[in-house]
Amino acid sequence: MVNRILKILLLSALIMMAFTSNGCLESKEPKQFVVEPGDFSEYEFTVPEGNFINSSTFFVYPNKTVRVIYTVVNAPRLEVVLPKDISGVKSEKEPGIDNLVVIGNTGSSTVFSGINEFSNISYNVSYSESSVNKKIQFEFAKTINGYVAYTYSWEQGQLYHILSRNETVNVVLPQDYDTGNMIFGLPKPKPDTKRLDDRNRIWLVWDNPNPKHRFIHVKYYKSSLPTIMGFVGLVLLVASLVTAIYFKNEIRKLRKKREIIDKDKE
């Protein structure tokens, strides 16, 4: 009887392992998916001076919205890994992206003078997913130098980017937001550059963090939050000191009364 139970348990474990390895928990075969073309004007496309380089720029907004712009250099495709957001409302059976814009230049040059040198490019979108990540692949009709931009939702107060290629990574925080406080969260890894633009937004820049690092994780918060929390902490500290002094005086008064009562008894 015991041997039979052990065989059943072993068989169950083997079945679970087989399902796990064959894709029950992870869809290994990419699935084609149609994303409606987006609005070009909603993105901040910037043509770099000099050679066109691989980069990813994340514009973060306080309403759980992230707009990302990837640049691709002499590439027939782009593959990205998007973490699943447990607070998101998108179906787990969809990539969870929208407002997709794909523009490029099919020439061999990697030096451009302006965004007008790029035009709409035909593409296909496919994805596969695991329990924690979604792998999205954009296939272009031709090898291009260009941009892939889309919008997705992510948990407010942080951004997580999985590195899958050699690139420069930019994270643009919302206006009047900051990062780098020991208590409220440090960006990991530490950015190579931190600067303020003309719209009072902080830019965090990592120069080719892959393969030394596997991901970029940024926690951000209102710039005024450390000051407010510091003031609240100071008020609580003063209140604690006042309370401690008050009770100390009350205890001293009670002791004196007790001493007087004891002397009267004697």
Count Cα atoms within 13 angstroms, Cβ side, for 53: 13
pLDDT at residue 198 in the model: 92
- The answer, yes or no, to whether residue 5 has pLDDT greater than 90, is no
Task: Let me know if residue 10 belongs to a domain.
Answer: no
More confident residue, 225 or 113: 113
Domain range enclosing 201: 27-223
> Is there a contact between 34 and 125 (Cβ–Cβ < 8 Å)?
yes
Whether residue 246 sits in one domain with residue 143? no
- The answer, yes or no, to whether residue 64 has pLDDT greater than 60, is yes
Cα gap 211→216, rounded to integer Å? 12
pLDDT at residue 121 in the model: 93
- 214-235 per-position pLDDT tens digit: 999 999 988 755 555 554 565 5
pLDDT at residue 230 in the model: 56
Whether residue 182 sits in one domain with residue 66? yes
pLDDT at residue 229 in the model: 55
Is the omega angle on the peptide bond into residue 76 within 30 degrees of 0, that is, cis?
no
Whether residue 250 sits in one domain with residue 170? no
Whether residue 108 sits in one domain with residue 239? no
Is 0.85 topped by the overall pTM? no
